[in-house]
Amino acid sequence: MSKLVFIRHGQSEWNLKNLFTGWVDVNLSEQGEQEAKEAGRKLKEAGIEFDQAYTSVLTRAIKTLHFALEESGQLWIPEEKSWRLNERHYGALQGKNKQAAAEKYGDEQVHIWRRSYDVLPPLLDANDEGSAANDRRYANLDPRIVPGGENLKVTLERVIPFWEDKIAPDLLAGKNVIVAAHGNSLRALTKYIEQISDEDIMNVEMATGQPVVYELDDKLNIVSKEKL
Catalytic residues: 9, 87
| Residue 138: CB atoms within 10 Å | 19
Per DSSP, helices labelled H in the chain are 13-16, 30-46, 59-71, 98-105, 107-115, 152-162, 168-172, 183-194
Question: For 31-67, b where at least 16 C-beta lie within 10 A, e where not — what string?
Answer: ebbebbbbbbebbeeeebebbbbbbbbbebbbbbbbb
Residue 221 CB neighbour total at 10 angstroms: 9
Please give the Cα distance from 77 to 40 (Å, whole number).
14
178 three-class SS: strand
Cα distance between residue 10 and residue 106, in whole Å: 28
What phi and psi values does residue 142 have, to the nearest 5 degrees? -60, 125
Distance between CA atoms of 132 and 119, rounded to whole angstroms?
21
